[in-house]
Structure 1
Amino acid sequence: MDFTIPSELKDLVESVRQFREKALMPVEHDFLINGKLDLDVRKSLENKAREQGFWALDVPEEFGGQGLGFLGKCLVTEELYKHPAMFEFGGSPESSMYYTNEEQKQRYFFPIIEGKRKSCYAFTEPDTGSDFARIRTVARRDGDNWVINGRKTFISHVDRADFVILYATTDPEAGSRGVTCFLVDKGTPGFELSRPIPTMGDDWEPYELTFNDCVVPDANRLGELGQGWEIANFQLTRGRAKIAACQLGVAQRCIDLAVEWAKQRVTWGKPIATRQAVQWMLADSEVELEAARMLVYRAAWMADEGLPIRNEAFAAKLYASEMAQRVTDRCLQIFGGLGYSREVPIQSFYRQVRVWRIGHGTSEIHRWMIARNMLGLSSRDA
C-alpha cells in the first residue's frame, strides 16, 4: 500500500485551505463568542464555496458530481475541521441515499445534489443507541401506506433539513432484521420536532422527534423491507471514518496554535517552549495525531479500493476521537487561562470533540465490535 497523497489531492486540499482562511476565518471570532453560525451566514458560505467549485465533491460523476474518492473526502474534511464551526461543503447526499430507487432519486437524491433539499437521519431512541435490534419506533403497513409511531432523540441537523431518513421496525420480533428505512418529509402530519436538546457543544442542538400515527406512503420506503440494518451499516461505517477525519483537523489546528503560543509565552525569562513539560505534551500530541492519521488514511484508501472497512472505521474513529480529546486537553493546558477563554478556539474544540466518543457508537461499543471481529463472533444484531 502506498500512503503517498496524489498531487491532485494535495492541490485540492491547498484550495480548501485557502477557502478556509479567506472565507471561514473572518467569522471565527463571532462564532467563538456566540457559539454558532447563523443559518444565513452558513448559507452564504455554502454559496461562496459552490461558486468556487466546492460542491458535490464526492458524488459520482454519473450523478452530476465531481467523483472525488473517499480518501479525498477525508482530506477535505480534515482541512475544513481546522475551523471550529465544523463547516462542510454541500451537495453530497448521505451515504444511505444511494439506496434510493429511480423515482426517489428524482424527489430526494438529485434535489440534494442541486442544493434544493437537505436531509438528516434518525437512528437513536430514548432507550436505544447502538443496540439496533431494540429499535421501538414502529411502522405498521396500512394498504399503500405505513403508519409510524415512536420517538427519536439526539437527532442532528433536523432544524436545517427538509426530510428525515428514518429507521423504524416493521417486524418487532425479527430484531435488526425487521428494521426498515423511510424518507419522511418535515411537515408530514404526525411528525413533530418535540424539543431541542441543549448541549455543551457549539452550534449543535440536536432534537427529539415524535411520530404519532404519521402516515408515510410506501413510495417513501428506502430499500427493501428489513434492509434497514444493511443501509445503516453502510451509513455508519462511512460516517465513522469521516468523523475520524474530522478529529485530525481539530487536533492539527490545536497543535499549531499551541506550538505558536509556546514560542511566544515567556515565564521566568524563557519561552515555555523551552520547558520539558510543554515539549513532551507537544511531542505526545504529534505522535498520536500521526498514528490516527494513518488509521484514517488507510481506511479511506481501502474504501476507494472497494474493500470492506467496517472494522477499520471502528478502529479509526475509536483512536482518533480519543486522540482529539487528549490533544485538545493538552493544548488548552499549554495556553493556560487564555485557552479557557472564548477568544481562543481550543476551548470550543475541546467541548465539541467530546461528543464523538459517544456519537455513531461509543468508544466502548467500538472496542467490543473490534474484539468480536478478532474473535470471529457475529455482530449482526449488535
Structure 2
Amino acid sequence: MDFSIPSELDMFVDSVRQFREKELMPLEHQFLLDGKFSSEQRTELEERARRQGFWALDVPEEYGGQGMGTLATCLVAEELYKHPAMFDFGGSPEPVLYEGTEQQKQKYLYPVIEEGKRSCYAFTEPGTGSDFARITTTAVSKGDEWVINGTKIFISEADRADFCILFASTDPAAGGRGITCFLVDKDTPGFELSRPIPTMGDNWEPHELSFRDCVVPDSARLGEVGGGWSLASEQLTHGRLRIAAYQLGIAQRCIDLATDWAKQRVTWGKPIATRQAVQFMLADSVVELDAARMLVYRAAWMADEGRPIRNEAFMAKLYATEMAQRVTDRCLQIFGGLGYSRELPIQSFYRQVRVWRIGHGTAEIHRWMIARNLLGLSSRD
C-alpha cells in the first residue's frame, strides 16, 4: 500500500488550511465564549466556502460534484476540525441518497448538491442505539401510504434540516430485517422536533423527534421494504470514518498548542518542556496520533480502491476517538488551569471528543464487532 499524498491534494488541503485560518480562526474566541455558531453564521460560512470552491467535494462528477474521493475528504475534515466549531463544507449528501429512485434524486439528492438543502438521519431511539432489532418506531402500510409513529432521540442537525432520513420498523416480527428507510419532509404533518437536548459539548445540541400518525406516500420509501439494514450499514461506515478523521485534526491542534506552551511556560527557572513528565505526555500523544492517522488513511485509501472497509472503519473510529480523548486530556494537563479555561480551545475539544466514543456505535460495540469479525462469529453468537 502506498500512503503518499498526491502533491495536488496536498495543495488543496493547504487551501483549506488558509480558509480555516482566514474565516474560522478570527471567530474562535467568541465561539469559545458562546459555545456555538448560530445557524446564520454557519450558513454564511458555508456560502463563503462555496464561493472559494469548497463545495460538494466528495460528490461524484456525474452528479455535479468534484469527485475528490474518501482520502481527500478525510484530509479536509482533519484540517477543518483543528477549529472547535465542528465546521464542514456543504453540498455533500448522505450516502444513502445515491440509492434513491430518479424521482427521489431530483427531490432530495440534487437539491443538497446544488442548493445546499440539508438532511438529518434518524436511527437512535430512547430504548435502542446500535441494536436495529429493537427499533420501535413503526411505519404501517395503508394502501399506497405509510403511517409512521414513534420517537427518535439524539438526532444531529435536525433544526437545520429540510428533510429526515428515517429508519422505521415495517415488520416488527422480523427484527432487524424488518427495518425500512423513509425520506420525510420536515413540514410533513405529524413530524415534530419535540425538544432540543442540551449536552456538555460545544456546538452540538441534538433533538428529539416525534412522529404521530405521520403519513408519507410510498414514493417516500428509500430502497426495498425491509432493506433498511444494508442502507444503514453503508451510512454508518461512511460516518465512522469521517468521525475518525475529525479526531486527527482535534489531536493535532491540541498537540501543537501544548508543544508551544511547554516551550514558553517556565517553572523553577526552566521551561516545562525540559521536564520528563511533560516530554512523555507529548511523545505518547504524537505516537498515538500517527498510529490513528495510519488507520484512517488506510481505510480511506481502501475505500477509494473500491474495497469494503466496514471492519477498517470500526478500527479507525475506535482507536482515533480513544486516542483523541487521551491526547486532549494530556494537553489540558500540560496547560494546567489555563487549559481548563475558555481562553483556549482545548477544554472545548476535551468535551467534544467524549461524544464520539458513543455516537455511530459505542467503543464497546466496535470492540464487539471487531472481535466477531476476527472470530468468524454470527450475530447470534
TM class, shorter-length: over 0.9
1:270 partnered with 2:294 = no
Instruction: Tell me, in whole angstroms, the C-alpha distance in 1 between the residues paired with 2:77 and 2:245.
Output: 6
Alignment of 1:31-110 (within 5 A): 31-110=31-110
Equivalenced residues, count: 381
CA deviations on 1:217-252 (whole Å, 9 max, x unpaired) are 111101111110000000000110110000000000
In the TM superposition, what is the alpha-carbon distance from 1:175 to its structure 2 partner? 1.1
Give the corresponding residue for 2:18.
18
Give the corresponding residue for 1:322.
322
In the TM superposition, what is the alpha-carbon distance from 1:377 to its structure 2 partner? 1.4
- Kept in 2: contact 1:90–1:115 (CA 8 A): no
Alignment of 1:207-226 (within 5 A): 207-226=207-226
1:157 partnered with 2:157 = yes
Instruction: Tell me, in whole angstroms, the C-alpha distance in 1 between the residues paired with 2:156 and 2:77.
Output: 18
Instruction: Tell me, in whole angstroms, the C-alpha distance in 2 between the residues paired with 1:176 and 1:310.
Output: 18
- Kept in 2: contact 1:149–1:211 (CA 8 A): yes
CA deviations on 1:4-25 (whole Å, 9 max, x unpaired) are 1111110111000000000100
Give the corresponding residue for 2:249.
249
Q: TM-score, normalised by structure 2?
A: 0.99
In the TM superposition, what is the alpha-carbon distance from 1:180 to its structure 2 partner? 0.3
- Kept in 2: contact 1:166–1:184 (CA 8 A): yes
1:191 partnered with 2:173 = no
Instruction: Tell me, in whole angstroms, the C-alpha distance in 1 between the residues paired with 2:313 and 2:145.
Output: 36
Instruction: Tell me, in whole angstroms, the C-alpha distance in 2 between the residues paired with 1:358 and 1:129.
Output: 10
Instruction: Tell me, in whole angstroms, the C-alpha distance in 2 between the residues paired with 1:15 and 1:101.
Output: 36
Q: TM-score, normalised by structure 1?
A: 0.99
CA deviations on 1:167-226 (whole Å, 9 max, x unpaired) are 001011111111000000112111111111110010111111111100011111011111
Letter in 2 for 1:195: R
In the TM superposition, what is the alpha-carbon distance from 1:116 to its structure 2 partner? 4.0
Instruction: Tell me, in whole angstroms, the C-alpha distance in 2 between the residues paired with 1:64 and 1:116.
Output: 13
2:198 aligned counterpart, secondary structure: coil
Percent sequence identity over aligned pairs:
76
2:146 aligned counterpart, secondary structure: strand
- Kept in 1: contact 2:90–2:116 (CA 8 A): no
Give the corresponding residue for 1:126.
126
Give the corresponding residue for 1:175.
175
In the TM superposition, what is the alpha-carbon distance from 1:305 to its structure 2 partner? 0.6
Instruction: Tell me, in whole angstroms, the C-alpha distance in 1 between the residues paired with 2:145 and 2:255.
Output: 53
Alignment of 1:335-374 (within 5 A): 335-374=335-374
Which ranges in structure 1 are unaligned for 5 or more consecutive residues? none
Give the corresponding residue for 2:112.
112
1:37 aligned counterpart, secondary structure: coil
- Kept in 2: contact 1:112–1:118 (CA 8 A): yes
Letter in 2 for 1:275: R
Q: CA RMSD in A?
A: 0.9
Instruction: Tell me, in whole angstroms, the C-alpha distance in 2 between the residues paired with 1:291 and 1:162.
Output: 38
- Kept in 2: contact 1:70–1:301 (CA 8 A): yes
CA deviations on 1:322-341 (whole Å, 9 max, x unpaired) are 00000000000000000000
In the TM superposition, what is the alpha-carbon distance from 1:375 to its structure 2 partner? 0.7
Instruction: Tell me, in whole angstroms, the C-alpha distance in 1 between the residues paired with 2:303 and 2:169.
Output: 29
- Kept in 1: contact 2:281–2:330 (CA 8 A): yes
Instruction: Tell me, in whole angstroms, the C-alpha distance in 2 between the residues paired with 1:205 and 1:116.
Output: 21
- Kept in 1: contact 2:170–2:178 (CA 8 A): yes
- Kept in 1: contact 2:163–2:183 (CA 8 A): yes
In the TM superposition, what is the alpha-carbon distance from 1:65 to its structure 2 partner? 0.1
CA deviations on 1:41-70 (whole Å, 9 max, x unpaired) are 111110110010000000000000000110
Letter in 2 for 1:34: D
Instruction: List 4+ stretches of structure 1 deviating above 4 A.
Output: none
Instruction: Tell me, in whole angstroms, the C-alpha distance in 2 between the residues paired with 1:115 and 1:7.
Output: 31
Give the corresponding residue for 1:201.
201
Give the corresponding residue for 1:235.
235
